[in-house]
Amino acid sequence: MTTRIDTRFAELQKQGRAAFVTFLMAGDPDLDTSLALIKALPKAGADIIEIGMPFTDPMADGPAIQAAGLRALKAGTTLKKTLALVQAFRRDDDATPLVLMGYYNPIYIYGVDKFLVDAKKAGVDGLIIVDLPPEEDSELCLPAMQAGLNFIRLATPTTDDKRLPAVLANTSGFVYYVSITGITGSGSADSAVVGEAVERIKRHTKLPVCVGFGIRTPEAARDIARHANGAVVGSALVDALAKSLDNDGRATASTVGAVTELVRSLANGVHAAQQAAE
């Protein structure tokens, strides 16, 4: 079964360029602004959109994304409302792939079977669940794949050749390579080291490899896009959003523009990698 993610990577391969993947937290700083932001991302240059599912205990997230999750929860964002956000986005855009990213607990509480039916119906294409290892594939990964959703796995600098086959076994859509050890938003990616890591992963899989963590500038995005099939940016966008809010943490007239402006410049960085390679 071909998903929107598969289709998008096939299109980009024909164009000879990497994907620009953006991350924002659902409901940050409120649901209306969040929808306006997500709707604006494709026009600004995002090829694939990751949407965070807010959770009270986000152990792998750095301060910026943790704060985004807290703002979203304070605004009343639930998993049900996150799926409604996807559904609202799909009314105008049936092509851009959407990936939900987060932790297993909210899905478990929602009910796995119900969640998969509702996610598929809303227009979700893939899942990245950071706290479910391959040993627990029967919990969500296998049912998600049967439901026609891509299950995207994370590989890290500490995922050695012995561990990689297990990580890749039921992965689909793309592999998300975390370029630095530690939490999101810390450090910056070294493109030469990333290049070697991407090559190593590609020896084990035909799937596209996207690289995230530590990409904050158009130059960094361009350097990563030269080595990988996609560059993922999250913390930098969430930071731009946070800086645009008023003293009470509410959206201002500049919020959507602050994020889309940065998305545009980062997308130009990714596109420059294609031009440099030609």
Which residues have a catalytic role annotated? 50, 61
Three-state DSSP state, 54: coil
The two three-digit tokens of residue 15, written as one number: 């164009």
Please tell me the distance from the alpha carbon of residue 92 to that of residue 88, in angstroms, as a whole number.
Answer: 8
Q: Is 178 helix (H, G, I), strand (E, B) or coil?
A: strand
Q: What angle do CA 272, 274, 92 make, to 5 degrees?
A: 85
The three-state secondary structure class of 246 is coil
- Separation between Cα atoms, residue 165 and residue 179, nearest integer Å: 19
- Where would I find the H helices in 140-190? 141-146, 164-168
Specify whether the CB–CB gap between 82 and 100 falls below 8 A: yes
CA 227, 128, 234, 80 torsion: positive or negative? Answer: positive
Query: Phi/psi of residue 276, each to 5°?
Result: -70, -30
103 vs 108: CA distance, rounded Å? 9
User: What's the CA gap between 138 and 118, in Å, rounded?
Assistant: 19
SS3 138: coil
Question: CA 83 to CA 72: how far, in whole Å?
Answer: 14
Q: Tokens representing 107? A: 């899905």
